[in-house]
Structure 1
Amino acid sequence: MARRERTRHLIELGGLVHKAGLVDLAGDDRATIYGALLELVGKARSGTADDVLALWKRRGRRAFDSEAEGSRTDA
């Protein structure tokens, strides 16, 4: 991955962490945010990883869809 693409990708991922509310919830404490993300990874690596990842994907898609619908009705 080229440097510019990698930078854009990392910025987008940081935006998702912020959009999910984790930054505000953790009081912008990076150690807390990192610990929360490590907890999620640990949960996803458990015996039910496929189920956990599928659940997260459904929730994320619903949130994106809901947000997209909200922006269409605001216009």
Structure 2
Amino acid sequence: MKRRERTRQLIELGGLVAKAGFVELADDDRAAIFGLLVEAAAKLRADETGNQLTLWRRRGRRAFVDAEGKD
């Protein structure tokens, strides 16, 4: 992956963290936000059925649709 593409990806991912409300909920505590992401990754690794990822994907898609309707 080229540097520009990676930079764009990282900015977009950071935007998702902010859009989800984690920055405000954690009072911009980066250790807490990182801990949340580490916990989610561990949960995905332990989920042999893939159900958790499917559930989160559905919730994310609904949240995107809801956010678009608020603009």
RMSD: 1.2
TM-score (norm 2): 0.91
TM-score (norm 1): 0.87
Distance 1:49 1:24, change over 3 A: farther
Instruction: State the identity %.
Output: 58
How far apart are 1:70 and its partner, in Å?
A: 2.5
Distance 1:42 1:49, change over 3 A: farther
Please list every run of 5 or more consecutive structure 2 residues that lacks an aligned counterpart in the other structure. Answer: none
Q: Is it true that 1:43 corresponds to 2:43 in the alignment?
A: yes
Could you list the runs of 4 or more consecutive aligned residues of structure 1 that deviate by over 3 angstroms after TM superposition?
none
- State the number of aligned residues: 71
Which of the two has higher C-alpha Rg? 1
Equivalent residue number for residue 26 of structure 1? 26
How far apart are 1:48 and its partner, in Å?
A: 4.3
Please list, as runs of the form range in 1=range in 2, the aligned pairs for 1:1-75 lying within 5 A after superposition.
1-48=1-48, 50-71=50-71
Residues 43 and 49, structure 1, Cα contact 8 Å, conserved in 2: no
Rounded to whole Å, the distance in 2 between the matches of 1:28 and 1:67 is 22
